[in-house]
Structure 1
């Protein structure tokens, strides 16, 4: 399982565990909270009514019949009361009173209930004992929704408790409130769940993004690409990335030195042997002409070593670059024309015709010196392999994405066996005119310059005869 998926699941589970209990508690205790909200005003109502009845009894003005008549009028009223989503149409409170023995002396809903013994009911019994009396009784024992809440208060006359007054209210309206509240709670829970999933994905993405960048960086390094260490933020991954970079540089530096020492030793061995052989022969007696020929060979091989060392130094500098030191808009058309003018003596010597096809103002971002070296190498190769009185076509085409610099010659092209080696260091083909090879570093340098400019170089044989070299650079 991927790390991002694990983080997402872990974050989601933590959120679910932490929030499930509060949501579940609210959903389960919602009815209890509504009942508590009903009980509080019932306490006030019971005590107010008990106080009024006590005062009327003290004045000998209390009449159970008048109270029955008053309640009958109240129950007969139509109440167009809208309490949020609940429409209340009638009064549903019941009031009854008992004497000190617990027998009913008044019942607002049932006149014939007078004399019934309620002394065993909790509201009456506890109130007559001077305690808080309340009870919740189901009209249908099997239906929790039929609960009626009873709250009693003592009736005090001349400082003495003479009975109890109970206010009873059914909790059926609670069902309406719950019917409205539960979908809202479920909706809030669904929104919270969606937010949890979304935030979990974001957290997973933010945490794993530097890891993915570091992984891609390692893959690019393994494939030999020239890449910079990506931005890894300020976390521990930044230190890990820096350690990776230092390790890569150390390993690459060691391999780089070993490889270059081996290749340089191998390439210098032949000219050094030639110089040594010529020097030993010159110790013997020989004619001035022969001695001059040996001196010329020594100078030629020494120059070859010098060119090889200079090219390798320049190439090693390019290979160790991760990005261009300076970038400017290079007028590529002007650069190519200048390079062709520098090659004019060589072109005239072989009677080569050069045709340049380009737009007047083609510019590309990059290092003008490096681009000039790359273009010079490609043109020089075309000159070396072109037959006398041949033709070289140079084309520069640009669009919104890239510039393509193409050099076409009429030479022999690339043999099949050399297709995979032409960009390798020190690999070179014999020149048709002289039969000699170059340092074998020119095309490798072009490849490094193209990579530094995020471009590419491609060589392909033309139909019939000749080679096409295409340098592609992003604009």
Structure 2
């Protein structure tokens, strides 16, 4: 099970199940809470009516007196009361009064007068001085048929002379209970769902941050340039910085070893050539023509050393960068035109024609113009070096989805099969067709590093019809 799934399941168990459990408890408490509220109001009503009925019950005139008349008038009243989300259209109290022996002397519905109610809890407990109440079902198996009964003692000078009971069918308040349960359930489930959605969002963000760390570690292990990932969690940022610091310390040791070896490798050949030429130049009888040739050789080899050192330093700076280059608008047409113009004289000397579309037609990307110019210039230098006299070198562009591709095509001999897998190796260089010296073997390495810093890549391979096609792919603006 993945880390993100474990976190989500744990969050659901803690928050989701807890929320559902709490919701079930609240919903379960709705019905008894509403019934308690109803019973509390019925206690007030019963005691009020008991106080009003006491004189007539004492005098024996209750059944035909003013109290009975007013209660029957209450039962016949018409009502239409919109109470919040519930409309009340009937008066539901049934009221009956018993004497001190529990015999019903008055019933607002007229169906229990003369009956013995002394064994019903509401009457029996009240006659004994307690709180009398009961809930009785009219249908034994139907809880909705229950009728609440709440009694109050009818007193005369502190003596219990009877009992007044107020009864109310629970079915009259069932709509209120049902609506309350539905509202609480609906909002409770929505709250649980929102909590789970929040948990999913947090889990996904955390998972993405961890995956960025994994990708960063993998790219570092593969020797690729990678930016230190940032996230909203301080702990993950600290971990990323710790990984970057560790990488920097390890790379620092490797850089020293690698670049000392690289510099030694690159300077060995020109130093040997300079030493040999200097020994010959010290000969007093060396002809002037030979002296000039060896002096030129010293100058050429010193320039070669300078170029190698500069490219090694540039490559080391690029590989050591922890952040992407400046993301400024770079018009590719102007960039390509500048690279072509800088090499026009060399190409003309070799009889090579440089072709490119008008600069206005080229798109714009974001990046470091100097670094991109260096990368494109390396591709163009290689194309010129390997082109025969009178050939064309074509510089162009294309758009493929989210990428802009700079292309450089020559019509030279192409890349030999043995070299196709090695052209991006440090210091690997093919002999030029005209027999001139090899390059430094660093141009394509630097160009690839520039492309990767900009989120792109470089591909160099033989073109259909001969020659080499180099593609520098960059994200479009």
For Structure 1 versus Structure 2, the TM-score category normalised by the shorter chain is 0.7 to 0.9
Looking at structure 2, the residues matched to 215 and 25 of structure 1 have their Cα atoms a distance apart, in angstroms, of 44
Measure the CA separation in 1 of the matches of 2:63 and 2:403: 103
The residue number in structure 2 matching 1:156 is 155
Determine the structure 1 residue equivalent to 2:46.
46
What are the ranges of 5 or more consecutive residues in structure 1 without an aligned counterpart?
none
Displacement of 1:145 = 3.1
User: Do structure 1's residue 166 and structure 2's residue 158 form an aligned pair?
Assistant: no
Please say if 1:126 is aligned against 2:125.
yes
Structure 1 residues 434 and 190: CA distance shift in structure 2, 3 A: same
- Give the 3-state SS of the residue equivalent to 2:287 in structure 1: helix
Matched position secondary structure for 1:468: strand
* Contact persistence 1:122–1:135 (CA under 8 A): yes
Check if 1:378 corresponds to 2:379: yes
- Please tell me whether the aligned partners of residues 322 and 452 of structure 1 are also in contact (alpha carbons under 8 angstroms): no
Equivalent position of 2:321 in the other structure = 321
Match of 1:232 in 2: 231
Relative to the length of structure 2, the TM-score reads 0.84
- Aligned residue in 2 for 1:440: 441
Residue 411 (structure 1) shift: 1.5
* Structure 2 SS opposite 1:148: strand
Q: Given that residues 328 and 366 in structure 1 are in contact (C-alpha distance below 8 angstroms), is that contact kept between their aligned partners in structure 2?
A: yes
Name the counterpart of 2:258: 259
The CA deviation at 1:146 is: 3.4
Of residues 334-343 and 1-10 in structure 1, the stretch that sits farther from structure 2 once superposed is 334-343
1:368–1:141 distance in 2 versus 1, CA, 3 Å: closer
Q: Is the 8 A contact 1:57 1:157 kept in 2?
A: no
Paired position in structure 2 for 1:463: 464
User: TM-score, with normalisation over the residues of structure 1?
Assistant: 0.84
Specify the alignment match of 1:350 in structure 2.
Answer: 350
- The CA distance in 2 between the partners of 1:91 and 1:264, in whole Å, is 103
> In 2 relative to 1, CA 300–40 (structure 1 residues): closer, same or farther, beyond 3 Å?
closer
In the alignment, what sits opposite 1:309?
309
Change (3 A) 1:71 1:250: same
Q: Would the aligned equivalents of 1:79 and 1:90 in 2 still touch at CA under 8 Å?
A: yes
Partner of residue 406, structure 1: 407
Aligned equivalent of 2:192: 193
Matching residue of 2:416: 415
Shift of 1:298: 5.1
CA distance in 2 between partners of 1:337 and 1:355 (Å) = 10
2:96 paired with 1:98: no
State the aligned residue count: 471
Gaps of 5+ in 2: none
Cα RMSD of the aligned pairs, angstroms, is: 3.5
Against the structure 1 CA distance between its residues 286 and 19, is the aligned structure 2 distance closer, same or farther, given a 3 Å change threshold? same
Provide the secondary structure at the position in 2 that maps to 1:343: helix
User: Which residue of structure 2 aligns with residue 454 of structure 1?
Assistant: 455
Q: 1:458 to 1:159 in 2, by over 3 A?
A: closer
User: In the superposition, relative to structure 1, how do residues 79 and 261 fare at CA in structure 2: closer, same or farther (>3 Å)?
Assistant: same
Contact 2:98/2:162, CA 8 A, preserved across alignment: yes
